[in-house]
Amino acid sequence: MHDDRTLVEARLKRVLDERIRPAVYPESVPLDVAVWHAPGEPVPVAEGIAASVEPIEAGARWGAPWGTSWFRVTGTVPRAWAGRTVEALLDLGFDENMPGFQCEGLVYRPDGTPVKGLNPRNQWVRIGAPVEGGEEVRLHIEAASNPVILDYHPFLPTQLGDRETAGSEPQYRLERMDLAVFDETVWQLVVDLEVLGELMAELPLESARRWDVLRAVERALDALDLQDVGGTAAAARERLTDVLSTPAAPSAHRISAVGHAHIDSAWLWPLRETVRKVARTTSNMTALLEDEPDFVFAMSQAQQWAWVKEHRPEVWARVKKAVADGRFVPAGGMWVESDTNMPGSEAMARQFVHGKRFFLDEFGVENDEAWLPDTFGFAAGLPQIIKAAGSKWLLTQKISWSQTNKFPHHTFQWEGIDGTRIFTHFPPVDTYNCSMKGSEIAHAAANFKDKGVARHSLAPTGWGDGGGGTTREMVAKAARLRDLEGSATVVWETPGEFFAKAAAEYPNAPVWVGELYLELHRATLTSQAGTKQGNRRSEHLLREAELWAATAAVRTGLPYPYEALDRIWKTVLLHQFHDILPGSSIAWVHREARATYRRVAEELDGIIDVAQRALAGEGATDLVFNSAPHGRDGVPAGGARTPRIDGVAALAPRVQGGYVLDNGLLRVEIDGRGLVVSAYDLTADRETIAPGTAANLLQLHPDFPNMWDAWDVDEFYRNTVTDLVGTDGITPGEDGVSVRIVRSFGASRVTQVLSLAAGESRLDIDTEVDWHETEKFLKLAFPLDVHAERYASETQFGHFYRPTHTNTSWEAAKFEACNHRFVHIEEPGWGVSLVNDSTYGHDVTRTVRDTDGGTTTTVRVSLLRAPRFPDPETDQGVHRFRHALVPGAGIGDAVREGWRINLPERRVSGAHEVAPLVSVEQDAVVVTAVKLADDGTGDVVVRFHESRGGRTRATLVPGFDVATVTVTDLLERPLADATAPGRDGDRITVPLRPFELVTLRLRRA
């Protein structure tokens, strides 16, 4: 037979594009359209519907950046259309290639009832099926003219990312606004031909199935009269019945489709616009659920559910009904789909506490899965947190974005730092916006890494980010793919149903130990320093507020601020969303975030002050309140008393120029350039700084990644570096025992103060940068005389080791990584720690010196970047950082100093000392939270973990009478299988594995 395949395939494409798709709406009449442009921010629905409108014609421009326009469309269904299906086609000026990244609309009836969202791939509103003819149509559209930030030429700097700079130029042109007849048969033919055409393209050329489909398509096209598509569509469909009903092979890959609409809680739009994106999407999905009985939709991020409840009660009623029917599924059990690298231990735990509690309170639903398709890598402490929250599964997809190494599994057990394992899946479809295209389904089956031992994967299906979610076309395609020869099989299932099947078929899934590092988006550990500092400060202020408020409540009866703390926690958790905390949102988002963090700090400082004054009483004694989990200067952890400071620090000129700081434990030499050329540990008789090098060295790199400016730093940035060694002056500090260094470079200026703490082997470095560079990367380097093949970085509830070498491509790819409060490098018996109060990104490299054969291990802190997309003014202005170099530090010292620098002492005048509410006798045990139980019973909740990576036995001594002690999960519910803590009088003992996390609930007697 002659090969006419390409001829038939080209025929199919043209006939579909030019004849069949246009025939879905064979008749139409224009609607009358009028508009009111709301001034300022969005208005309530009733106000928008009642507003006075002006006529507007198709083709007219509308919509200033970030504006809201209320369109009123009216018309009459022609009587000649009686008995037919009629839809309104409402095109606001959409680009079908940009679902979720441009204008959107929500359609209302005149009484304010929402109908559905309008999106580039979802422009229709059903009027009647069938109509009688003569019906009056009146609809209102709340249209958002969100500007396109990520355009066809991506990553270009734009001022559109903030309403304050975006201007008023109309962004869109109104297109088709019609009433039209909807031909269901033609629409079904379109879906038939799309499914078969896409299937053909994925089958091998030598496959008999491909040619069977080709001939069936040819016969269908032959049956179609192109001058009467509607009249012959049914006959064409009959020619496709056999090829569409041939079942899939028994060995076919099995895909669980989950309706999905990944909505970034803020990204290229502000938080207030996400509220509306969620309302539009949930309106769409509840409507689709009513039309499609097999369809299942899942939505994560309890914050987004809460927005619907608060701002769109009319939509919320529909959502609640769909949840009750079991088809609109709360997923993930987190407050938002947060970043997981940077949030601290308690914050990561509270993501699950607040997320799961919302779904439990509202729907009685508890999630078994964590749902994080788009997060930029996963910290090694996360598995234990997921388990402690009562969950057991994790879904992600982002690991497929890694640039260097392809992850070896799609379904596996992920093991965290304490040994906890979580059954994990990342979909081989390689997208969290699957549209049921044949290429996507074929890719999922071919790409699946676990063939032969597993057969199930998941496909999150629907347009995200305000694109409207799953469409009726996707549902129709899935129906045809349920059991179709040549394709993977597709069935709509909830996440829980998928995971149960996947776990059952793969009980011995392979194990991946340690972090799930994303080999991409590494610069998110540094971009938008102000947002990151606000997060870190808020986390520690919340710790202080809970600790002192709980202590005051138990000791003095001061009312515990339940509502305020709950509200503030949710605010902080929201801002840990995986584009806000990572610094990859528009300027508007970060401007608001900085203002929010200032308000949070002011309110928490007030809570802390009230509690501490209640505890201290009226008096003139100088008391220091210690919020850290370790005692310092004679003040116990969680207590207050007059401090005891031993030793003094001294400053002297250095013979070769510069200064020497000495406190009897550490002697630091600062040369005339303001660089640390020696940090001598007098106790160990050992130098810290590598020979021939200098620490506290600021280094500046060009920083222009190939794409994703705020997200990425590409390894070639290291090829060019400028050491900032010139100074504008080096002088004694105002206290007479510190050194002040000023440097200028480019348009920027750095002021540093170096000092030694009395009685501590610690060099404190306070850095202020007035930053006005563009596309530059600022690092602070510490070359250390330490031979180490690995180093420790703090993560949630412990620390994680990374190699200092680049033996393999996996190690080389980690050229920028995350730490929390410390990194620690050690030879047996002696180590160095570098602690910080607000930075996360860093790199560690090693070289062998020619001079003496020794090893130099260099730790560099990432301070600032200056990307121009999506915020062209990223980080311009003044920033302050605190770091400390701790020679001679063991891992326990690193933990202690990391807490110290983040929880500075607070001084209060009072009448008496304050004993800790709960004391812990082992330094290796770190208490991360002391609070009152969320249920208002007055029980005291204490959360702690082993911090050094070894076994220990925690001994807690409560400073109040305890009736019962209960081991709980993160939601403060009893754990049925937990071993009861030991009791010996007022002492409570709990054995701990390395890094083990425990939550105790203490009922007061």
Catalytic residue positions, numbered = 374
* DSSP category for residue 17: I
Which class for 758: exposed (0-12), middle (13-18), buried (19 or more C-beta within 10 A)? middle
For residues 943 and 928, is the Cβ–Cβ distance under 8 A? Answer: yes
Strands in 776-784's sheet, in edge-to-edge order, are: 722-724, 697-702, 776-784, 855-865, 841-848, 817-818
For residues 496 and 371, is the Cβ–Cβ distance under 8 A? Answer: no
Strand residue runs (E) in 733-773: 738-745, 748-756, 763-771
For residues 499 and 425, is the Cβ–Cβ distance under 8 A? Answer: yes
**DSSP calls for 251-266:** T--EEEEEE-----SS
- The full length of the chain comes to 1005
Helix axis angle for 529-556 and 345-363, nearest 10°, is 70
Peptide bond into 99 cis (omega under 30): no
Distance (Å) of CA 7 to CA 4, 11, 211, 467? 5, 6, 13, 35
SS3 label, residue 390: coil
Buried b (16+ CB within 10 A) or exposed e, 571-606: bbbbbbbbbbbbbbbbbbbbbbbeebbeebeebbee
For residues 470 and 260, is the Cβ–Cβ distance under 8 A? Answer: yes
What is the rounded distance in angstroms from the CA atom of residue 182 to the CA atom of residue 119? Answer: 18
What is the rounded distance in angstroms from the CA atom of residue 644 to the CA atom of residue 653? Answer: 29
Q: Which of 350, 294, 298 lies closest to 499, judged by CA?
A: 298
Check the CA dihedral 425-427-431-432 and report its sign: negative
For residues 855 and 831, is the Cβ–Cβ distance under 8 A? Answer: no
For the chain, how far is it from start to end, CA to CA, in angstroms? Answer: 90
Please write down the HEC assignment for all residues of 395-412. ECCHHHHCCCCCCCCCEE
Number of other residues whose CB lies within 10 A of the CB of residue 435 = 19
What is the rounded distance in angstroms from the CA atom of residue 19 to the CA atom of residue 70? Answer: 34
* DSSP category for residue 124: E
Place of tokens 């209102």: 140
Place of tokens 């009750």: 324
Contacts of 599 (CB under 8 A, 6+ apart): none
What is the rounded distance in angstroms from the CA atom of residue 199 to the CA atom of residue 438? Answer: 5
- Letter for the amino acid at 489? T
What is the rounded distance in angstroms from the CA atom of residue 873 to the CA atom of residue 895? Answer: 35
- The CA-CA-CA angle for residues 329, 109, 86, to 5°, reads 90
SS3 label, residue 827: strand
What is the rounded distance in angstroms from the CA atom of residue 666 to the CA atom of residue 723? Answer: 26
Q: Which of 763, 738, 905, 778 lies closest to 833, judged by CA?
A: 763
What is the rounded distance in angstroms from the CA atom of residue 959 to the CA atom of residue 760? Answer: 29
* Phi, then psi, of 481 in degrees rounded to 5: -90, 5
What is the rounded distance in angstroms from the CA atom of residue 205 to the CA atom of residue 211? Answer: 8
- Letter for the amino acid at 73? V
- Letter for the amino acid at 231? G
